[in-house]
Structure 1
């Protein structure tokens, strides 16, 4: 009883227990994880602008709505090619002595997961328009706009990054919308978020609770029953080309009435989906990323998307089958490989 009546002994015992538990539960496991989870071979260190952008991301509370963790469940496949592992975060370090914002995994997914947003959406033009006003590219978005990261100039200076904002979203102020250094740094951070491939021979974690595979049905030209071209278009294409297929003037080209979409020969369209396209940069449109390759789309999914585009918004083109698309995917992949080898 003397021990419990001596406040000094009681305090020192409680302090010692606290320090012991801190060592065993927090410090030693952290050191173990740091030692046994090295950065993946292809992981890149954040550039100076990306680091500044990360601080802006934190300052604006983006982590409250966006996660950076692909869970090992099938519904998370849309955010990355594989579930996240500890090594994905091993290259992150403290912001400074006082702030530990090494990882921004988040806890709530009000907005899309950003683990691989740099791969899914590499276009700086899209990110800047989205930051200026998210409703420009996603009508139903609940994300706040960040107009204070932009300035309006009647005559942009050489080197200014002009944002192609549709006229209806501009204020009465005349001039061009120009991205500030803060906006460009934030976009640099977002573009740096890319899921790295695992080293050869290392098994990737599996996605659990896989959805039931659809069965093939005779008479559907090899399409998978239940594939929704409208939903697949919304998930993979709509953020740029818009729900109505009209794109955004000066930013993203329309699919409505597009010669490529209406062409009865779908080879060029498949080539663009799988390998990207930069043929309209001179017109002010940014390069299109290889959505089909990036998102690991199957022939059935690509054919469903193409048929939606070919038969929507007044388009009336010849539809395609999954078998046709599979053959063309192999063809354009061979052509792309040959082109890269020639370089």
Structure 2
């Protein structure tokens, strides 16, 4: 491999979280051999302020790419774009949430799900205290003026939280301020980990009982341990809030985002076609070299963009990721 990288083989079965988490706090990689489903959301905001040009093109380019190279079928895809006449396929607030629910419904271990969003993104004041910079990241449905934006917490709750161990969800958000738009706790730089939940601290504070129940899919257990914690904390609201926010997952969720939370993503023209710069770079990097590790692919995407764009794409994950594994989806 370029740069002398040793490619690691994909672990099978349960993998310990490590990072101070108790034994039994595990996740599972997907080998992506199961069912495939994909959701594409592309919004050009026709006739609105800030109209974009490349977002619908992005959905076409990426869907064609994963059909041709990754075994996805068009009949297992939903497209929400604002050039469609059928109101059910307009990228409205309600339709986006419903389509996200469709994507993750009945997912089984080793399934491969794909989510792509190209449109406006932004930030709003964080109301539940889980963002270091005081801002939640949001996406803007076509009807955001009437029905509001969609906040990262809701995206996480809708597409990450329901997934059992061993399900892969690969997501690409080609939007501004999208670095943590799925609230995935492990964020990777081109060299290593930037951010991770402090699981040792959480374990020491007795906060992982709820997380453990969540990892097992035991929602009743989550409720019980949260309730118990709330009572024992005697009004220690911080601990209670922190427990609710443990956003690790036993599933295998990987997100490529167009930029850091503080950055904007370019609506570009490349080879005389309007396109999102991140969507273009993802396809271009994999076409040039289909077999890359996660860290190599992150660097390839960054290299393609850095000559013309200031945005720095981010790789984030729901669990500690071995970035020397081959990227699969």
Task: Please indicate the TM-score interval, normalised by the length of the shorter structure.
Answer: under 0.3
Higher RCO, 1 vs 2 (CA within 8 Å, ≥6 residues apart): 2
More helix by share: 1
Normalising by the residue count of structure 1, what TM-score does the alignment of the two structures yield?
0.22
Comparing both structures, which one devotes a greater share of its residues to strand? 2
From the CA coordinates, give the structure whose radius of gyration is larger. 1
